[in-house]
Structure 1
Amino acid sequence: MEKISKRLVNWASILEANTRTQAEVASTMPFVYPHIALMPDAHLGKGATVGSVIPTLGAIIPAAVGVDIGCGMIAVRTTYGRKDLPADRRALRESIEAAIPLSAGHYNADITRDHTRARLDELTADAVRLGFDPAARAATWELQLGTLGSGNHFIEVSLDEEDRVWLFLHSGSRGVGNKIAQRHIAVAQRLCKQWWIDLPDPDLAYLVDGTEEFYSYIRELRWAQKFALLNREEMMDRVATCFGDWLEVDEVERIEEINCHHNYTSKEKHFGKDVWLSRKGAIDASLGTPGLIPGSMGTRSYVVVGKGNPVSLNLSPHGAGREYSRSRARKTFTQDDLRVAMGDIEYRDTAAFIDEIPAAYKDIDVVMEDAKDLVEVRHTLRQIVNVKGD
């Protein structure tokens, strides 16, 4: 841990100068208390650093949560091991790709499954109770439930240190969450401009606790967090069905299941005060809390348990964290480089994934070493099947 300033504490041993500067600027906002915590995977973001924890008094910065509200991971440990698996892993990958819409803007064609409808009914009832219409943000929101997206979102089949099979995926609140976030970021910017507030970065615009704009954001944000959680559950159900069909079994028993956000905010007590704790890429690492830290495409992932480090505000990293921008990665690496990095992992061999090559990310081993005071590793997972959207 490095104490950069009174209001900025850093766990990242790999930290670019512009990322450090961005976090320092954010830490000067007058309502930050007690300090911003930079996670080991910290890298440059929009307004707020990705991999940062921002506690605030009396205000929230919508961009400090980001546009993928509720993004997170879900993992399920099955009863199966490596010895139980068929040799043809391509068939499983293609089955998952057919069952779950991938890539930005790709949604379900219709709603046909009973438990999909049940989850949508639950979200609709919540929206009515909260007093807003999700269709006003995204007309296709119902068709987005059970879809993956693109970028660093993924679905994986992995083996742990005992060769037990885990199903693992990473996604968030999709287009509807993005629209909710963009709307409230714009409202915050408009209000700060209206109040003649001189911001060091327009994306640090904030909403003031007690105002209708503030509570409107909180209501919709909590709804989007739930959408993201149910979205992961819906996809995991479909992945488990595909996995069961591949094994020719009726049902896949789940020995353990973990579902955790890493882009969200909540009201919590830290250092003696009630703060709004916003995470832009950090998981709950309270004492004894299970969590998931994925590596990049082709590398290891980790099932962890929190140590409850108070200085980190009980948080830990959410992944490897980018070292190369997507454009720089595409200029630096080739499709052949990606093939070498993926080894014998079953994946869709396309140039579209070059910017997701492991070398574009921080070394996950370094990130986990930096996080040793924040979490304890319970399981180490290595991929055998990888599914992504373009």
Structure 2
Amino acid sequence: MPIKTIITKGKVPVKIYTDDIEAEAYQQLLNMSQMPFIHSHIAVMPDVHCGKGATVGSVMPTVGAIIPAAVGVDIGCGMKALRLSIKAHDLPDNLRSLRLLIEAAIPVGFNQHKHDPVKQSTVTGLSVGLHKILGKHPKINTMQKKPYQTWVRQLGTLGGGNHFIELCLDENDDVWVMLHSGSRGIGNVIGEYFINLAKKDMGQHIVNLPDKDLAYFKEGAKHYDDYLEAVSWAQDYAMVNRREMMNLICDALKKKLPKFGITKEAIHCHHNYVAREQHFDASVWVARKGAISAKAGELGIIPGSMGAKSYIVRGLGNPMSFCSSSHGAGRVMSRGKAKRHFTIDDMESQTHGVECRKDSGVIDEIPGAYKDIDIVMEHQSDLVEMVHTLKQVLDEAANAEKSAAA
């Protein structure tokens, strides 16, 4: 489906792949379109909703400057999915024991492993880049308790908020493992630090911004290269986190399931990140906040909410979206409102047939708090084609009540 809404009141157009957009998000996009260094236009995905400074679901190409809030604080947040060599009939009738095994293997929320979970060579490789960043910005190291131990032992952990681990079945009854997580506590503090540093660096000029959270670093300025170095490191950390978590999940599943292998069909993608790309005859920084890359032929993951369908997709390389698509269904209700509006009975009915927690700690992730994933997919038929349709049978969600999306 083509672009449905265009905002033309700013310095560049905002091209939106839906007409279902809340007033707050619309105003944020109008604010973003006032920035003087955006190349061509801003593209907005059909799962669009309000964020901090920059709207979730936005794709912003910039020349000569970069906005940390256009990436956000969960730097490198994204998805990983593996298709296993087993079928639905190989799963036990009752999946509770599998869910408990996954819970035991993967810490959630602010929790971490009790011992270093990854190879020392992995830690050493990440340490080199982080120490270089901390040498120039030591304050980052004061923003967490036991910072070194925390970032090392949070590798292979889920986090909080809307992060999850799922077992799914596709249209052929093949079993998939899918997970959603990011750069954990260390990515969060790096994101917060540089958002605030951009505000500080802009000084009195920040009053000229439509929103102070759109503070930016100009190319050649003191901290421009530092931010790019730090965001790149956090994106790498997030990739390693998902890789290590997937390894731990598969090890846990092997205790209960028949012997299985991993097929060649494996997908790993960021949806909160920045990358150097070529669009409309210019080399630009593309900040995707709640959007995935959808280059022609590129595989991606678009999850629905708990109990809803998810999709493995292939990008169509649409230039107007900067070769992007949505990262999920998108919220229609805040976490607080969802907790006030829905009950545990609602949770049980909306996640019928899925082995998952159905208590007050996860009500804010109820399917009713999200957009209909099928409508979202319909609105981006010009951006991606569906390869597999996945249906959750087991969901391990983070506890949003006792943890934040670190």
- With the shorter chain as reference, the TM-score category is over 0.9
| Separation in structure 2 between the aligned mates of residue 291 and residue 116 of structure 1, nearest angstrom | 28
Alpha carbons of structure 1 residues 269 and 221: separation in structure 2 relative to 1, 3 Å: same
* Residues 208 and 349 (structure 1), Cα distance of their counterparts in 2 relative to 1, 3 Å cut: same
- 1:215 corresponds in structure 2 to 225
2:134 and 2:141 in contact (8 A); partners too: no
Please give the secondary structure, in 2, of the residue aligned with 1:311.
helix
Question: For 1:196 and 1:44, how far apart are their aligned partners in 2?
Answer: 21
The answer as to whether partners of 2:199 and 2:206 remain within 8 angstroms in 1 is no
- Cα distance 1:36–1:179, how it changes in 2: closer, same or farther (>3 A)? same
SS in structure 2 at match of 1:265: strand
Aligned counterparts, 1:200-279, within 5 A: 200-249=210-259, 252-279=261-288
Are the aligned partners of 1:69 and 1:221 in contact in 2 as well (CA < 8 Å)?
yes
Unmatched 5+ stretches in structure 1 = none
1:375 alignment counterpart: 384
Please list the CA deviations of residues 25-61 of structure 1 after superposition, one character each: whole Å capped at 9, or x if unmatched. 1111111111111100000011000000011111111
User: 1:184-203 counterparts in 2 under 5 A?
Assistant: 184-195=194-205, 197-203=207-213
In structure 1, the partner of 2:121 is: 118
Structure 2 matches for 1:1-390, cutoff 5 A? 1=3, 2-5=5-8, 6-103=12-109, 105-111=110-116, 113=117, 115-128=118-131, 132=135, 135=141, 138=144, 139=147, 140-195=150-205, 197-249=207-259, 252-390=261-399
What does the per-residue CA deviation read over 1:168-191, in whole Å, with 9 as the maximum and x for residues that have no partner? 000000010000000100110111
How far off its partner does 1:137 sit? 5.6
The unaligned stretches of length 5 or more in structure 2 are: 400-406
Amino acid paired to 2:53: G
Query: Structure 2: how far apart are the matches of 1:85 and 1:367?
Result: 30
Write out the 4+ residue segments of structure 1 that deviate beyond 2 Å after TM superposition: 115-119, 125-138, 193-197, 251-255
Q: In structure 1, what residue type is equivalent to 2:179?
A: L
The answer to whether the 8 A contact 2:84-2:263 is kept is: yes
Cα contact 1:299–1:358 (8 A) shared by 2: yes
SS state at 1:83 partner: helix
CA distance, structure 2, for counterparts of residue 196 and residue 261 of structure 1: 30
Distance in 2, Cα, partners of 1:349 & 1:42 = 27
Cα distance in 2 between the residues matched to 1:253 and 1:160: 15
Q: Distance in 2 between matches of 1:234 and 1:211?
A: 36
Q: Could you tell me whether the CA contact under 8 Å between 2:46 and 2:379 is conserved in 1?
A: yes
Please give the secondary structure, in 2, of the residue aligned with 1:157.
strand
- By how many angstroms is 1:13 displaced? 3.0
Distance 1:177 1:116 in 2: 20
1:230-259 per-position Cα deviation (integer Å, ceiling 9, x unaligned): 10001000111111111153x633332111
Shift, 1:125, TM fit: 3.1
Is the Cα contact below 8 Å between 1:13 and 1:370 reproduced in 2?
no
The alignment's TM-score, normalised by the length of structure 1, stands at 0.95
Aligned length: 386
**Alpha-carbon distance, 1:22 to partner:** 1.1
**Offset of residue 131 of structure 1:** 7.0
Percent identity reads 47
Give me the whole-angstrom Cα distance separating, in 2, the residues matched to 1:383 and 1:317: 19
Give, in whole Å, the separation in 2 of the partners of 1:349 and 1:363. Answer: 20
Where 1:231 maps in the other structure, the secondary structure is helix
